[in-house]
């Protein structure tokens, strides 16, 4: 399994009704923390312009697209 990294696209694996998110939604990883457990901040957009950011543990998402980026 690929670990989430900044700018990866990820799929939510379970519903988060308190945030209005459903399993299967695609989001973009904005930030990742590795200690003490891997967690990532993921930005989800609905069909309009509404955006939800959620702090999720690694097991709540699956990487669906890896974006390669050069370090500055």
> What's the pLDDT tens digit per position in 14-39?
999 999 999 999 999 999 999 888 99
Q: Which domain, by its residues, includes 34?
A: 9-63
Residue 46 lies in a domain: yes
Residue 58 sits at φ, ψ, to 5 deg, of: -55, -35
* Listed residue (50, 64, 48, 68) closest to 13, CA to CA: 64
Q: How many domains does the chain have?
A: 1
pLDDT at 69: 57
Residue 1 lies in a domain: no
Residue 16 lies in a domain: yes
- Whole-prediction pTM: 0.84
Residue 49 lies in a domain: yes
Residue 37 lies in a domain: yes
**Residue 47: pLDDT band with limits 50, 70, 90:** confident
Residue 57 lies in a domain: yes
Residue 69 lies in a domain: no
């Amino acid at each position: 399994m690929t670990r989430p990294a900044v700018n990866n696209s990820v799929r939510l694996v379970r519903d988060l009704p308190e945030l209005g998110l459903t399993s299967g939604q695609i989001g973009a990883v904005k930030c990742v923390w590795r200690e003490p457990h891997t967690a990532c901040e993921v930005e989800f957009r609905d069909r309009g312009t509404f955006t939800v950011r959620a702090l999720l543990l690694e097991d709540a998402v699956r990487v669906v697209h890896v974006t390669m980026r050069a370090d500055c």
